[in-house]
């Protein structure tokens, strides 16, 4: 995988924050503080608990390191705006912290794009008979597949922020934070569950700002109420 200048800078900033922490911990903390900053803008439930954890992280790293986290997040925003793709998945793999023993491997974005184009070749036709497309990801990782679906719809002139809703699961907290950050920044309406798809254990749900602010809870309830039994 060849990194562009923006991704290289993100990696460099995160590596500069290692100090006494290993690289995996630094990346996990970066994703967590980024996700919390986005979630706490729209979700009052659990706000203070998340804010307290954020402050503990701030105290542990110090101001200079937290500024590097903020700069890295700003670069993620810029990368997603200029070339929407799985930026955090790329970063994760380039940092070489993926744990094969835990089955953590993120689908290359080019593969996700191919799969999206094959699965949703008839997206426009589907939307002639239904208000939006529901996307379910049982093991979302960093969200590459969902991002690819969103961009495939956009390439067909379909506003995915209004015509697509995502339900994504992953047991890995890092994956939940990564996908939540990227979905939030791309305006994707989604519910990201930290859950075990196999055992049905559920730990938390992260609703993206687009889901909250655009009234998707009501839209989903309405669809359920009008669906044939």
Q: Kindly report the CA angle at 44 between 39 and 47, in degrees rounded to 5?
A: 70
pLDDT at 102: 53
Nearest Cα to Cα of residue 184 among 4, 30, 36, 57: 36
The answer to whether residues 132 and 61 belong to one domain is no
Name the residue range of residue 40's domain: 5-98
The burial class, CB within 10 Å (0-12 / 13-18 / 19+), for 99 is: exposed
The answer to whether residues 120 and 44 belong to one domain is no
- Domain count for the chain, please give it: 2
Nearest Cα to Cα of residue 137 among 83, 78, 178: 178
The answer to whether residues 113 and 174 belong to one domain is yes
pLDDT at 225: 77
Examine residue 104 and state whether it is found in any structural domain, yes or no: no
Q: What's the rounded Cα separation, in Å, for the pair 176 and 170?
A: 6
The answer to whether residues 42 and 94 belong to one domain is yes
State in Å, rounded, how far the first CA of the chain is from the last one.
48
Residue 215 sits in a domain whose CATH number is 3.40.50.150
pLDDT at 1: 47
Task: Spell out the SS3 assignment of 151-208.
Answer: HHHHHCCCCHHHHEEEEEEECCHHHHHHHHHHHHHCCCCEEEEEECCCCCCEEEEEEC
pLDDT at 228: 61
pLDDT at 223: 85
Contacts 24+ apart (CB under 8 A), 121-129: 123/152, 123/153, 123/156, 123/158, 124/156, 124/158, 127/158, 127/163
Q: What's the rounded Cα separation, in Å, for the pair 65 and 122?
A: 47
Examine residue 127 and state whether it is found in any structural domain, yes or no: yes
Q: Give Cα separations from 110 to 1, 35, 114, 116, 157 (angstroms).
A: 11, 25, 6, 10, 20
Contact 189, 214 (CB under 8 A): yes
Examine residue 27 and state whether it is found in any structural domain, yes or no: yes
pLDDT at 4: 65
The answer to whether residues 152 and 93 belong to one domain is no
Q: Whole-prediction pTM value?
A: 0.93
The answer to whether residues 115 and 90 belong to one domain is no
The answer to whether residues 62 and 118 belong to one domain is no
Nearest Cα to Cα of residue 179 among 197, 166, 160, 162: 166
The burial class, CB within 10 Å (0-12 / 13-18 / 19+), for 21 is: middle
Q: Which residues of the chain, if any, have pLDDT below 50?
A: 1-2, 100-101
The answer to whether residues 50 and 140 belong to one domain is no
The answer to whether residues 83 and 119 belong to one domain is no
Examine residue 103 and state whether it is found in any structural domain, yes or no: no
The answer to whether residues 140 and 211 belong to one domain is yes
The answer to whether residues 113 and 219 belong to one domain is yes
């Amino acid at each position: 995988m060849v990194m562009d200048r923006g991704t290289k800078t993100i990696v460099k900033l995160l590596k500069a924050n290692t100090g006494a922490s290993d690289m995996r911990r630094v990346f996990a903390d970066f994703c967590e503080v980024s996700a919390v900053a986005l979630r706490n803008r729209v979700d009052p439930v659990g706000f203070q608990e998340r804010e307290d954890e954020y402050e503990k992280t701030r105290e542990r790293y110090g101001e200079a390191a937290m500024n590097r986290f903020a700069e890295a997040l700003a670069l993620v925003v810029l990368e997603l705006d200029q070339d929407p793709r799985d930026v955090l998945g790329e970063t994760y793999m380039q940092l070489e912290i993926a744990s094969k023993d835990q089955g953590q491997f993120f689908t290359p974005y080019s593969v996700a794009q191919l799969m999206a184009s094959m699965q949703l070749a008839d997206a426009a036709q589907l939307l002639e008979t239904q208000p939006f497309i529901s996307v379910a990801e049982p093991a979302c990782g960093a969200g590459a597949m969902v991002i690819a679906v969103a961009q495939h719809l956009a390439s067909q002139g379909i506003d995915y922020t209004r015509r697509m809703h995502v339900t994504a699961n992953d047991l890995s907290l890092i994956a939940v934070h990564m996908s939540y950050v990227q979905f939030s920044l791309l305006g994707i309406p989604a519910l990201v569950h930290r859950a075990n798809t196999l055992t049905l254990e559920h730990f938390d749900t992260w609703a993206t700002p687009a889901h909250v602010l655009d009234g998707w809870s009501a839209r989903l309830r309405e669809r359920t109420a009008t669906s044939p039994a």
